[in-house]
Structure 1
Amino acid sequence: MKLNVELVPLLLLFFNLSPCEMAYISEEDDLDLERQVKTMNKPFIKTFSTKEGDTIDCVDINKQPALDHPLLQNHKVQTEPNLHVTSLRRTSLNAKPVKFGLREPCPSGTVVSLTDNMIENIKYGGGGRTSVFNLTVARDQVSAHNVWIETGPPEHISMIVAGWMVSPQLFGDTGAWFFTYWTGDGYRNGCYNVLCPGFVQVDREITPGYPIKRVSTYGGPIAELVIHIQQDRITGNWWLIVTSKAIKVGYWPKELFLYLRNGSLHTAWGGIGIAGGNGFCPPMGSGHRPDGIIEHATFFRKLHWVRSDGKFLRPSNKTREWVDRSNVYGLMIHHHYRKYGSGYMISFGGPGGYCRV
């Protein structure tokens, strides 16, 4: 599925990837071993277990695994962005926010270490609010719902992705998880969440790869995830911000990217369904096609991109609808949806089904 705006594509994408194309979910064994050895040699200030069974190690913020990346040897951790984010507050839509803050926070001074030429057309970030649902997917299927920031030719594309995902292979269960993905050079580097060095953690609790327990119900009530990604114009780092309270989770240093050093040409929203080996695509969104009722299909609302002066702008009305595998997914564009103060809105998804060409 795909939404296109002139010069600013709004993407609702569906990819049918083979297992080999999913290889970047995990690193090669030797590189993974090297990373784990380095992580084990870092002094943990505190370790505890979560209800989900994760082991959380609290490390000195200046000694976190992200800084092992060779491009970040001289990087100084930025604990606060030079941003003034004030537009993530709740609106009149009767939706309950996805809850973070259910884990024990790390001590002060430490962060979580998970062991596992067209100036006005340049975007400096983007985001929105997406409803989260429980889905039933096969072990080798992936259903993701996210915002993209990307620029560059396909063979060297630089990309940042954040949203919610159901992926038994990546997370070990069929629950909904908050996730991120990045690549700086056409998938030659980068990874999901913190499976490789790069993302600099700042918040003492919320991390990429965080379980989402509050989800929506078909017909209501609604639980939504607030996502905002914005480049700090002074340092060039790309910050990940979540929830209506604008919690600054951390950032991707600009040094990681070939084509995201000074803004991006593309900001996008939508979903990805990755088929299993049997050629069946997973359910996407709520598992139902959009029908115009906000509580029925997954939505992205209050879509916005960030101008050079930090102002949030809505997508333009010059959109073209494109739905790949339209036999299993659907898309509705609501444009400037005034009901509930939802701003520019799209709804999408479907039950999935056989989709191999």
Structure 2
Amino acid sequence: MKPTLSRIKQTLGTSKSKEASTIWLNDGGCPFGSVPIKRITKDDLIRQKHLPPPEDLAFHTQFFEVAIVSTRTDLDYKFGGAGMSATLWNPYVKGQQHSGCRLKVQKLSDIIQIGWRVDPTLYGDTLTRMFIHFQAGNIGCFNTLCPGFVLIDTEIGVGAPFSNVSHRGDIHNLWEYPMYLDRDLVNGNWWVLVQETHREVGFWPQNIFTQLAGFATHIEWGGVAYSPPDIPEPPMGSSFFPTNMKGYDGSCNGITALNYKGETIEVNTIPHTDNPDFYRVYDIPPRGTNRKYKHTVLYGGPGERT
């Protein structure tokens, strides 16, 4: 089952941040021939009924707030993947709120995502956890809560918590995690890769999609937050507006995009935030000679203070 992938050559991290590898299973992984899939409990099923509907395909979705950098939407674009190294934070949420950071690859109604989020409704706690998500028309779910994603890694638990997160201002303990979405050049399956080694976690088969059976036309990097009606919006990222100071900001470091050949390319990006009173985003362009390897997104904010 070896995929034919681009093998992005660059190092995504733009600082000396520590790479978090703490979503591995503590006991060394599953026996040969098996993979770690979370047992679905009655409480999980009850909480799933309260999950909000997926974000709308447009930016402006009621109750969702984003602070992102995106490519220009153009159906003539053919993206074969994307990547980032996301700093890990633990913004305060409660009830049915959630807050996180994600890489989103999309064509029309088909969407795949990877990132981290704090989501009591999804997970039953307020830990910072890795997540994946797919939407294929009207079908979709997080992690492995429904058929679709084929998990092959015996040690990494999709949806598992990170035991280390960053603390604002502590530049010696800044934690981040490289994440990639990469389309197989031969059969069109969409793979989830993590860490600087591009570890193969699993894939969504091409045949579950309609639009993403081909290439993507839109990519987003940045933060997203949700709050139910009449509830103040939660913090995002480091819980403060970006400062462009190391150790203080939510960030997607070394963002990348791949073309239809699996080659790393520079893209024209657009910053967007739904509500700049609550959240902000800065698109930090590449600098120096290796321009396409150092593109960074800074995002975050306190939310709606009460």
Whether TM exceeds 0.5 here: the answer is yes
Read off the aligned partner of 2:26 and give its amino acid letter. R
Structure 1 residue 235: Cα displacement: 1.2
SS in 2 for 1:111: coil
Structure 1 residue 207: Cα displacement: 3.0
CA contact (8 A) 1:88 1:245 kept: no
Identity of aligned residues (%): 27
| Gap regions ≥5 residues in structure 2 | 41-73
**Partner of residue 95, structure 1:** 17
Q: Alpha-carbon deviations, 1:95-141, whole Å to 9, x = none?
A: 0001143422112222222222x898200010111101122111210
Q: Alpha-carbon deviations, 1:280-314, whole Å to 9, x = none?
A: 11110010100121321111111111112221123
1:302 to 244, 254, 261: 254
| Gap regions ≥5 residues in structure 1 | 1-78
The CA distance in 1 between the partners of 2:258 and 2:8, in whole Å, is: 13
Read off the aligned partner of 2:5 and give its amino acid letter. L
Q: Does 1:238 align with 2:238?
A: no
CA contact (8 A) 1:337 1:345 kept: no
The CA distance in 2 between the partners of 1:169 and 1:181, in whole Å, is: 15
Which structure has the larger Rg? 1
The CA distance in 2 between the partners of 1:301 and 1:163, in whole Å, is: 13
SS in 2 for 1:211: coil
Read off the aligned partner of 2:98 and give its amino acid letter. V
Query: CA RMSD, aligned part only?
Result: 2.3
The CA distance in 1 between the partners of 2:133 and 2:162, in whole Å, is: 17
SS in 2 for 1:305: strand
Structure 1 residue 169: Cα displacement: 1.1
CA contact (8 A) 2:81 2:183 kept: yes
- The higher-RCO structure (CA 8 Å, 6+ apart) is 2
1:107 to 31, 46, 53: 31
**Partner of residue 322, structure 1:** 272
The CA distance in 2 between the partners of 1:241 and 1:159, in whole Å, is: 17
The CA distance in 1 between the partners of 2:105 and 2:175, in whole Å, is: 24
1:335 to 278, 285, 289: 285
Read off the aligned partner of 1:198 and give its amino acid letter. G
CA contact (8 A) 2:25 2:156 kept: no
Q: Does 1:261 align with 2:213?
A: yes
Read off the aligned partner of 1:166 and give its amino acid letter. V
SS in 1 for 2:297: strand
CA contact (8 A) 1:238 1:252 kept: yes
Q: Alpha-carbon deviations, 1:56-75, whole Å to 9, x = none?
A: xxxxxxxxxxxxxxxxxxxx
Q: Alpha-carbon deviations, 1:21-68, whole Å to 9, x = none?
A: xxxxxxxxxxxxxxxxxxxxxxxxxxxxxxxxxxxxxxxxxxxxxxxx
Higher helix share: 1
SS in 2 for 1:139: coil
Read off the aligned partner of 1:335 and give its amino acid letter. P
1:146 to 96, 102, 105: 102
Are the structure 2 counterparts of residues 102 and 141 from structure 1 closer, same or farther at C-alpha, using a change threshold of 3 Å? same
Count of aligned pairs between the two proteins: 268
Q: Does 1:130 align with 2:81?
A: no
Are the structure 2 counterparts of residues 338 and 120 from structure 1 closer, same or farther at C-alpha, using a change threshold of 3 Å? farther
Structure 1 residue 92: Cα displacement: 6.3
SS in 1 for 2:285: strand
Q: Alpha-carbon deviations, 1:173-211, whole Å to 9, x = none?
A: 1110000111100xx211011111110001001132121
CA contact (8 A) 1:140 1:277 kept: no
**Partner of residue 180, structure 2:** 228
Are the structure 2 counterparts of residues 215 and 269 from structure 1 closer, same or farther at C-alpha, using a change threshold of 3 Å? same
**Partner of residue 283, structure 1:** 235
The CA distance in 2 between the partners of 1:88 and 1:139, in whole Å, is: 39
Structure 1 residue 91: Cα displacement: 5.1
Structure 1 residue 339: Cα displacement: 12
The CA distance in 2 between the partners of 1:283 and 1:80, in whole Å, is: 40
CA contact (8 A) 1:199 1:252 kept: yes
Are the structure 2 counterparts of residues 340 and 249 from structure 1 closer, same or farther at C-alpha, using a change threshold of 3 Å? same
Q: Does 1:212 align with 2:162?
A: yes
Are the structure 2 counterparts of residues 145 and 193 from structure 1 closer, same or farther at C-alpha, using a change threshold of 3 Å? same
The CA distance in 1 between the partners of 2:193 and 2:270, in whole Å, is: 29
CA contact (8 A) 1:300 1:347 kept: yes
Are the structure 2 counterparts of residues 91 and 326 from structure 1 closer, same or farther at C-alpha, using a change threshold of 3 Å? closer
CA contact (8 A) 2:278 2:304 kept: yes
**Partner of residue 297, structure 2:** 346
SS in 2 for 1:255: helix
SS in 1 for 2:192: strand
**Partner of residue 223, structure 2:** 271
